[in-house]
Structure 1
């Protein structure tokens, strides 16, 4: 009996692995504003839903790293849902405190930018299958705002 149950589990597992899953990519990370204690950026994530029904996004977790250090992390609860058979843009606000930027002065240096890695996990709920996390990682260079960008 246990062999039959194991075969059934393996069959279901194989079928679930063959099912098309949503795909995501970071399309852009832009400066949005300066506050009294931090600089805020907005990561734009493009998510393609292959299913004919909308899928709710339960949460988005992010980790923003520079010089192999985590400089910001957070969670965006329930940012919306993915459109059926379409691509949806999901906005992930990232807040970087000034005190951490000062500790990265060596990286910022002469070119006034930060080499960063943004790791995201989109937790979505698929009917029948349950919750799955779409992991993604994006490496790039981010320009820090200058006085002219702050006051325009």
Structure 2
């Protein structure tokens, strides 16, 4: 039985899997209740046929704590033998931004870590989650920029 389990593990390890990269995280929208950021993810599909994306889960962390999390259910499919770009909207309530005042006050940006889990439905294997992580700084809009958007 142990030999069968080892063969199964080897088989799964040898299967081609999509590869993903976070290309950019930037300000998308400023609303009355939250600021929405957009994470642009590039996903390469090694198969000749489309692969459905089941969901994308996200967690945005700053100053050692989670400031936003959620899922994007059924965001579409990956085109066969191509790279597909997917946008992941991340909403951060204004009340959370206010609590980050020490980090924001120094340089008017948020130091962040974004963790994504991209779940795809692979042939034979089934659901497979590709973990992604990126860190950086997100600039906040200036007050004059907020007024000009209205």
1:6 positional shift: 2.9
Q: Distance in 2 between matches of 1:47 and 1:61?
A: 15
> Match of 1:102?
98
Q: Which moved more, 1:7-16 or 1:100-109?
A: 7-16
What CA deviation, in whole Å up to 9, does each residue of 1:6-29 have, x standing for no partner? Answer: 322321220210122111111011
| Match among 115, 124, 135 for residue 139 of structure 1 | 135
What is the TM-score with the length of structure 2 in the denominator? 0.94
Q: Which has the larger radius of gyration?
A: 1
Q: Unaligned stretches of 5+ in structure 1? A: none
What is the TM-score with the length of structure 1 in the denominator? 0.93
Q: How many residues get paired?
A: 148
| Match among 50, 53, 59 for residue 57 of structure 1 | 53
What CA deviation, in whole Å up to 9, does each residue of 1:43-75 have, x standing for no partner? Answer: 100111111111000000000000011000010
> Match of 1:112?
108
Q: Distance in 2 between matches of 1:41 and 1:148?
A: 19
Compute the RMSD of aligned alpha carbons. 1.1
Q: Give the 5 Å matches for 1:3-152.
A: 5-150=1-146, 151-152=148-149
SS of the residue aligned with 2:2? helix
Large movers: runs of 4+ above 2 Å: 147-150
Q: Unaligned stretches of 5+ in structure 2? A: none
